[in-house]
């Protein structure tokens, strides 16, 4: 059988996968009875419904009159699998709190790489660059301060766009950094470092 509508097909696959995952994981918790529902009851029921609905959507992908190519968006399976493997390694090699700086740093880099690979598996270049910029912002805000984080976010995300002009981006970064410090830290009093914490 030929897949007519790639969008429906993959949407169906996604729903079935989510529904099945929730059902399977829910089996780790007590089910309870209809009178006293345990933590597994509701998610198992919903997961089952989702699998059924997903299967219908998937089936429609074969018989649909609307035709869409099977490749709906760029997907790089090797990055996806690689990211999952790295993520699994990071997950199962949790570093103890009292472990050395180096071990912790290494572990964080490994997690970061896994995330980056998973992001990069989907969509065009702009997707992973923009989201990577966002993650970098989140992780450097506390140690390096709002100014550095904003500048990094603006530069990396601008690099993910279609056009990159150094001067323009530099001005934009400076303006946005000044504005966010003025309005969020001074204006609203959000508790954030402005400069790297070692300076203060």
Partner 1 sequence: MEALTALVHNLGIGFGVALTFQNIFYCLMGCLLGTLIGVLPGIGPVATIAMLLPVTFTLNPTSALIMLAGIYYGAQYGGSTTAILVNIPGESSSVVTCLDGYQMARQGRAGPALGIAAIGSFIAGCFATVLIALFAPPLAEVALKFGPAEYFSLMVLGLIAATVLAHGSLIKAIAMVILGLLLGIVGTDVNSGVARFSFGVSELSDGIGFVSVAMGVFGFAEVISNLEQKEKREVFTKKVSNLLPSLQDFKDSWASIARGTLLGSALGILPGGGALLASFAAYTLEKKISWNSANFGKGAIQGVAAPESANNAGAQTSFIPLLTLGIPSNPVMALMIGAMMIQGIAPGPQVMTERPQLFWGMIASMWVGNLMLVVLNLPLIGMWIKLLMAPYRLLYPAILVFCCIGVYSISNSPFDVMQTAVFGVVGYIFVKLECEPAPLILGFILGPLMEENLRRAMLLSRGDPLVFFQRPISLVMLVVAAFLLIITLAPAIRKKREEAFVEA
- Report the site for partner 1 in 111-130 (rule: CB under 8 A): 115, 118-119, 122-124, 126-127, 130
Sole binder of partner 1 in the list 1, 77, 96, 188 (CB under 8 A): 188
Site membership for partner 1, residue 168 (CB under 8 A): yes
Supply the minimum distance, in Å, between the C-beta of residue 61 and partner 1: 10
Q: Which of residues 54-83 bind partner 1 (CB under 8 A)?
A: 54, 56-57, 60, 72-73
Site membership for partner 1, residue 197 (CB under 8 A): no
Supply the minimum distance, in Å, between the C-beta of residue 126 and partner 1: 4
For residue 124, how many C-alpha atoms fall within 13 Å in the half-sphere facing its CB?
A: 4
Q: Which of residues 4-23 bind partner 1 (CB under 8 A)?
A: 7-8, 10-11, 14-15, 18-19, 22
Supply the minimum distance, in Å, between the C-beta of residue 127 and partner 1: 5
Q: Which is closer to partner 1, CB of 113 or CB of 135?
A: 135
5: exposed, middle or buried (Cβ count in 10 Å: 0-12, 13-18, 19+):
buried
The DSSP code sequence of 130-170 is: HHHHHHHHHHHHHHHHHHHHHHHHHHHHHHTSS---HHHHH
For CA atoms 106, 112, 115, 121, the dihedral sign is: negative
Residues 6 or more apart whose Cβ sits within 8 Å of residue 124: 74
The DSSP code sequence of 22-81 is: HHHHHTTS--B-SSSB-TTHHHHHHHHHHHHHHHHHHHHHHH-SS-B-S--S-B-HHHHH
**What is the total count of residues that contact partner 1 (CB under 8 A)?**
75
Site membership for partner 1, residue 105 (CB under 8 A): no
Q: Which of residues 129-158 bind partner 1 (CB under 8 A)?
A: 130-131, 133-135, 137-139, 141-142, 146, 149-150, 153-154, 157-158
Supply the minimum distance, in Å, between the C-beta of residue 53 and partner 1: 4
Is residue 150 within 8 A of residue 177, CB to CB? The reply is yes
């Amino acid at each position: 059988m030929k897949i007519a509508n790639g969008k429906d097909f993959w949407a169906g696959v996604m729903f079935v996968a989510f529904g099945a995952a929730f059902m399977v994981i829910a089996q780790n918790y007590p089910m309870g009875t209809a009178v006293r529902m345990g933590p597994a009851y509701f998610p198992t029921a919903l997961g089952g419904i989702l699998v059924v609905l997903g299967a219908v959507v998937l089936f429609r992908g074969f018989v649909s009159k609307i035709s869409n190519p099977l490749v709906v968006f760029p997907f790089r399976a090797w990055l996806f699998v690689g990211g999952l493997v790295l993520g699994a390694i990071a997950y199962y090699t949790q570093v103890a709190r009292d472990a050395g700086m180096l071990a912790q740093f290494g572990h964080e880099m490994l997690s970061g790489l896994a995330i980056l690979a998973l992001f990069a598996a989907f969509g065009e270049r702009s997707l992973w660059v923009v989201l990577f910029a966002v993650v970098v912002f989140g992780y450097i805000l506390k140690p390096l301060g709002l100014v550095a984080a904003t500048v990094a976010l603006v530069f990396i995300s601008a690099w993910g766009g279609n056009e990159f002009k150094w001067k323009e981006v530099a001005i934009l970064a400076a303006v946005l950094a000044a504005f966010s410090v003025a309005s969020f830290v001074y204006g609203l009093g959000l508790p954030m470092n402005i400069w790297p914490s070692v300076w203060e």
